[in-house]
Amino acid sequence: MLTESNHTASHAPRRQWGLEAWDVIILVLVALSLVLILFDSFYRFTPLPWLLNVIWPALDHQAHWLSDHASQIDVWFLTIFWIDILAGWLVAIVQRRYHRWFFYPFVHWYDVLGSLPITNFRWFRILRVLGLMVRLQKSGCVDFTQWRFFLFFQKYYNILMEELSDRVAVKLLTTVQEDIRHDGDLGANIKESVIDPQREQLSAEIATRASALINEVRAHTSADVEGYLVDSTRKVLEDNANIRMLKSLPFGKQLSHSLESALIDVLTQLLRETSKGLESAEFKSSVERIVGHCVNDVLANPTLSEGQFETILVDTLEMLKTRVEKKRWKERYDDQ
């Protein structure tokens, strides 16, 4: 049993290598068929025959024969391509690669169309070349991403896409700016359509953040506040004329000390109870009510006029346009 499993495992890399080799062969054949199609088109519809006849008559004779027999040669290519399609279809059925057995030609539609004996469909073979290159890239057989041609194409493709997307984005932002300038009710529309429906959620979020900020400040400053309160109370009692008079009486110092301790205890306990109250649900509800009233007041009596609000939006969009128009591809490719 162990020998059988080792035998199967040893055949798996060979099978994978065979499939990759077959893909390379098909890739080369498809590329040759495209070269033949391209040559035949140039020979038939350009002054190439005349030029070859002038420069190299013997080569023109060979080119004329190749152009005349291009259709017959293409039939041999088509035969091999159809063998590849049918074999791939059979393998997909055996491996249950798709949900239904007849899905294969629909998934590989460009292979099927490019293998039909129709002149206008032959250019679908370009898609077949791309598909085979992607398959070989995924299998690790080759790494096209390190080829000079691929890097050259990728560089200028990225530049083209970035330039196109930037122009579209700038055009879109400019259109938005024009709409803002000509729409005098924009501020009111934003208030009615965006802010008003979210007023309660906005107030609750602000109240939650305010409560969290208050509790954070309390946690970091409660000890300092308590110490300051104790020191201030003692200083006030020491400066009080009545307390000084009390200290001059028999047992006055003891009484004044007890009074000071009691007063400090009361104030400290009051401060601690107040601090605990900041965490209560009642305090959070109070903050929400206060924030709600503030939000309603701001929306009812905005500090910015609609014109000022629109100007801010237009200037913000202009800043975005400036950032979009910056050609970042120059920074990426300056060192290349």
Radius of gyration of the chain, Cα coordinates, nearest whole angstrom: 42
Splitting the chain (336 residues) into consecutive groups of 10 residues, what average pLDDT does each group show?
Answer: 43 66 87 89 82 80 85 90 91 87 88 86 86 79 76 82 88 85 68 73 79 77 77 77 70 74 80 74 78 73 62 84 80 66
- Residue 334 confidence (pLDDT): 67
What per-residue string of b and e applies to 279-309 under the rule 16 or more CB within 10 Å gives b?
Answer: eeeebbeebbeebbeebeeeeeeeeeebeeb
Neighbouring C-beta atoms of residue 123, cutoff 10 Å: 13
pLDDT for res 9 = 44
Q: What is the pLDDT of residues 265-311, one digit of tens each?
A: 887 887 777 777 777 777 777 877 887 777 777 666 665 555 666 77
Q: Give the number of C-alpha atoms closer than 13 A to the C-alpha of residue 62, restricted to the C-beta side.
A: 3
Q: Report pLDDT for 5.
A: 44
What per-residue confidence (pLDDT) applies to 59? 82
For 314, the token pair is: 């237009």
Instruction: Tell me which amino acid residue 172 is.
Output: L
- In 3D, which of 259, 261, 262 has the Cα closest to residue 243? 259
CA–CA separation, 45 vs 48, rounded Å? 8
Q: What's the first-to-final CA gap in the chain, in angstroms? A: 57
CA distance 257 to 243: 10
